[in-house]
Amino acid sequence: MRIALVSRVDDQRAISFTRDLGDTIGSLGHEVSFEPATARVLRSDNLWPFDGSVDLAIIVGGDGTILHTIQQMDHKVPVIGVNWGEVGFLADLEPDEAIPFIRGLKPGFPTEPRMRVALKSGETVLGEALNEALIVTSRPAKMLRFVIVVDGIEAESFRADGLLVSTPTGSTAYAMSAGGPIVDPRIEGFLLVPLAPYMLSSRPHLISNDRSVRIGLESAKPATLVIDGQKTIELGNEQLLEVTQAEQPALFVDAHKNFFKKVDHKLRHL
């Protein structure tokens, strides 16, 4: 198989692990390439061009490294994370599990698609997120006014510090910290979580992905859109955003790790 390796580049131990992992994978007969930043650190010329020309991407790092890598892909290829972060909820393997798992991996391995969310302004796609899109004020300590329209009906209007538009995958990330529910990632829908809403009646909503969802931003204060903590877009103070399901889901290798056991282990008993 053609396997690409990605490492967080701010941790020398992670870099050393990735180098050794590449040597082992190569000795097993696989073709190895490296994400460009990783390749520069390792002084390798075997670059992964992010164009779908590999069968698998192995990402050594935390959730931020995984999200960053998926953001860079033009064509989504299957990924599996080796946890080298604090929680690493998106990473299914611990370092000592990586080589045994890869040894047993055969072509045609099962994958689990994870829906991503896209935010559009008119016909322009502003960004696509695996975890969440965050709308916050560009000025600290100021509130924004939001109007949520579902299937053409105004479902809610509220003032808040911001609004999270999360996927089920992202429900265990920022959305959970903001008071949202934990959602089974096999469900396909949009999780809307107000951040510090002014009214007690403003609660999180989980909306089916087959509904039309629009977010009206009506405020005298400018707002900023942040995609997966990786990409920032200035929105100004008035926008009508459409929330849709992204065309390409993220693909995760099925490592046979039960989602609810991960919740219990990584979020309750760290």
Q: Are residues 89 and 151 in the same domain?
A: no
Q: Are residues 87 and 127 in the same domain?
A: no
Q: Are residues 80 and 188 in the same domain?
A: no
Residue found by looking up tokens 């929680």 in the block: 87
217, 144 in Cβ contact below 8 A?
A: yes
Q: Are residues 153 and 141 in the same domain?
A: yes
pTM of the model: 0.93
- CA separation for the pair 41, 12 (Å, rounded): 10
Q: Are residues 91 and 127 in the same domain?
A: no
Q: Are residues 101 and 174 in the same domain?
A: no
Q: Are residues 108 and 166 in the same domain?
A: no
Output Rg (C-alpha) for the chain, integer angstroms.
20
Counted domains in the chain: 2
Q: Are residues 96 and 189 in the same domain?
A: no
We report the CATH number of the domain holding residue 128 as 2.60.200.30
Nearest to 1 by CA among 30, 24, 33: 30
Region class of 64: left (phi > 0), else alpha (psi between -120 and 50), else beta? alpha
Q: How many residues does the chain have?
A: 270
We report the CATH number of the domain holding residue 76 as 3.40.50.10330
Q: Any catalytic annotation for residue 161?
A: no
**pLDDT value of position 200:** 77
Q: What is the DSSP annotation of the chain?
A: -EEEEEE-TT-HHHHHHHHHHHHHHHHTT-EEEE-HHHHHHHT---B--SSS--SEEEEEE-HHHHHHHHHH-SS---EEEEE-SSS-TT--B-HHHHHHHHHT--TT--EEEE--EEEEETTEEEEEESSEEEEEESSTT--EEEEEEETTEEEEEEEESEEEEE-SGGGGTHHHHTTPPP--TTS-EEEEEEES-SSTT---EEEETTS-EEEEEEEEEEEEEEETTTEEEEEEEEEEEEEEE-SSPEEEE-----HHHHIIIIII--
Q: Are residues 211 and 121 in the same domain?
A: yes
Q: Are residues 85 and 20 in the same domain?
A: yes
Nearest to 157 by CA among 241, 218, 244: 218
Q: Are residues 106 and 174 in the same domain?
A: no
Question: Of the residues 10, 63, 151, 161, which is catalytic?
Answer: 63
**pLDDT value of position 269:** 61
Nearest to 142 by CA among 39, 237, 8, 47: 237
Nearest to 119 by CA among 223, 49, 219: 223
| Domain extent for 147 | 117-245
Q: Are residues 103 and 167 in the same domain?
A: no
Mean pLDDT, consecutive 10-residue segments, the chain of 270 residues? 96 96 95 96 92 93 95 93 88 94 93 97 94 91 91 95 97 95 96 91 93 92 93 90 97 93 79
